[in-house]
Amino acid sequence: MSDQGSDDQGFDVQGFARDINELLILSSLRAGAKHGYQIALDVETDSNGLFRFQHGTLYPILHRLEEDGLIQGSWSREGGRRRKVYALTRRGEGRIQGGTDRVQTIASRLLAMLRPPGEATA
């Protein structure tokens, strides 16, 4: 995950968006192992439609997370069809914690800038 929250490196909006997607997938897998479209459906449902994976953007993220060891993919059979199921790894759990803290820091700074002076922050 990139360090777009740090002051000395500046803020990378695209990297931040990518990190959000990764965190959404990782946190969706906290409930248990799932296959690709189930992750996409759950993210969409849990966020009331705010976050949606369209045009197959889910797969590069899943495969990158798998390569980084944050999730583990395994093949199984269901009704004669082979499906790939992803499960969260211990390393992935750690990434959720670190990523959540960073998102919170960035969101706090952003809100502090956007809100009028004197208004209390949440």
Q: Name the minimum Å distance from CB 115 to another protein.
A: 35
| Helices 58-67, 36-46: crossing angle, 10 deg rounding | 110
Element at 57 (helix H, strand E): none
Q: How many residues bind another protein (CB under 8 A)?
A: 22
If 0-12 CB within 10 Å is exposed, 13-18 middle and 19+ buried, where does residue 16 land?
middle
Phi, psi of 71 (to 5 degrees): -135, 160
Q: Name the minimum Å distance from CB 61 to another protein.
A: 9
Q: Any contact of residue 59 with another protein (CB under 8 A)?
A: yes
Choose between 65 and 88: whose C-beta lies nearer to another protein: 65
Applying CB under 8 A, the span of 60-68, 88-96, 97-105, 108-116 interacting with another protein comes to: 60-68
Q: Any contact of residue 54 with another protein (CB under 8 A)?
A: yes
